[in-house]
Amino acid sequence: MRHNLSQRDAKHIWHPLTQHKTHAKSHALSRASGVYLYDTEGKAYIDAISSWYTAVYGHCNDRITGPVAAQMQQLDQVVFSGFTHEPAVRLSEKLIARLPGNQEKLFFSENGSTAVEVAIKMALQYHHNLGAPRPVLLAFESGFHGDTFGALSVSGLSVYNGPFEGMALEVRRIPVPRDAAATESLHALERVLEEAPVAGFIYEPLVQGAAAMKTHDPEGLGKILLRVRESGALLIADEVMTGFGKTGTFFASEQLPLSPDLICLSKALTAGLLPMGITSCSAAVFGAFYSDSIEKGFFHGHTYTANPLACSAALAALELLETAEMQQNIARITASHAEFARKVSQHPRVREARHIGVIFAMDLAVEGERYGNLRDTLYSFFMDRGVYLRPLGNTVYILPPYVITNEELQKLYQALEEVLEFIR
């Protein structure tokens, strides 16, 4: 039965981000360990994107699974409205100590999209509670923040948004800062501020993940954040992808001059073991909801909010991230990416190579749609070489688990160099 898993899957399952009429059958996996995924035929693949940036400490890491297994025998799930528990409290204490200094409160949800959804609703209700409603949200062009309706509204990728144009929240967009001056971005921002009362600005700090790992200037972003704050709008840092060490610091926001008012977290938060999202906020934001008036409260809740097992996974993951070993691994991968970027950047088939922290990306000098034939060709090329990647159009990127060895990194780089000789 195991060997016809793909055929059984095709009978009833609708996969995400998939056009099933043109897409080949899903690849059947049987297990995972460390940096490797194993299919039902026994072939191993390096998980070069940490399973969408989640399993950054490797798969089935017993330093994560052990505490969760123990928690399963004590408290598995409980409603978080009216109850609390030790894993959630311990996580709140440990995470607040690591977040930018102005963060004071945590609101739990279940994934990155819901963490963003919560932040958007908080920003809109914040101004409503203060008696001066602001209906407009601000975002970067080509940003991606999730696919629930609010998160979709502030995202700028047409492949996701197309069928829902005109049905979303009111959002204005500005270009990402190309340099330290951020002239184009600031001019666009001024036009928006003149026309509309902005409630909040949501941004992916330093790198736009779904936009093919496009990086932007930190000094220029800092100027944008300062101007937005001067306008009275809230700053919402979407660190769902960038958080927990991926840009070289615990959070990308640490590399910017202003701390955000709200931060969205998920993905590596629980080391890829269990779903959970967190939206953190400053005392000032929380204060706008703290009232004798019930209607000023934040009436948002999910069944699995602050699930004890997910909290235990997040605690274990945070403790692992803080170890000297893991910090050294991040520094080692960062240095290795920098060296490889220098090596391939002059190749005639590389349009641009860039890196930040454990993230490396290169744009191939060939045209291709985001989910078109080129993407499928590249995907198969890497899988044939035992490397799991998800190219985005003509962009190939890697974001490996922090536990990857130098030898395994070299295998990834070799596959990237080989694809440069393969494409035409």
Confidence of residue 370 (pLDDT cuts 50, 70, 90): low
What SS3 class is residue 164? helix
Number of H helices, E strands in the chain: 14, 16
Domain ranges for the chain, please list them.
1-47, 65-321, 324-392
Assigned architecture for domain 65-321: 3-Layer(aba) Sandwich (3.40)
Provide the pLDDT for residue 166: 81
Q: Quick check: 394 and 363 in contact, CB under 8 A?
A: yes
Q: Percent of the chain at pLDDT above 70?
A: 98
Q: pLDDT digits over 131-143, tens only?
A: 999 999 999 999 9
Helix (H) / strand (E) containing 411: helix 406-422
Phi first, then psi: give them for residue 388, nearest 5 degrees. -95, 115
pLDDT tens, residue by residue, 198-228: 999 999 999 999 999 999 999 999 999 999 9
Nearest to 383 by CA among 148, 33, 39, 78: 39
Task: Express each pLDDT in 268-327 by its tens digit.
Answer: 999 999 999 999 999 999 999 999 999 999 999 999 999 999 999 999 999 999 999 999
Q: Mean pLDDT over residues 86-108, rounded? A: 98
Confidence of residue 104 (pLDDT cuts 50, 70, 90): very high
Distance CA(60)–CA(241), nearest Å, equals: 20
pLDDT tens digits, 11-69? 999 998 888 888 868 999 999 999 999 999 999 999 999 999 999 999 999 999 999 99
Provide the pLDDT confidence category of residue 251 given band limits of 50, 70 and 90: very high
- Predicted confidence at residue 369, as pLDDT, reads 65
- Annotate 36-71 with b (16+ C-beta within 10 A) or e (fewer): bbebeeeebbbbbbbbebbbbbbbebeebeebbeeb
Q: Report the greatest alpha carbon distance in the chain.
A: 67
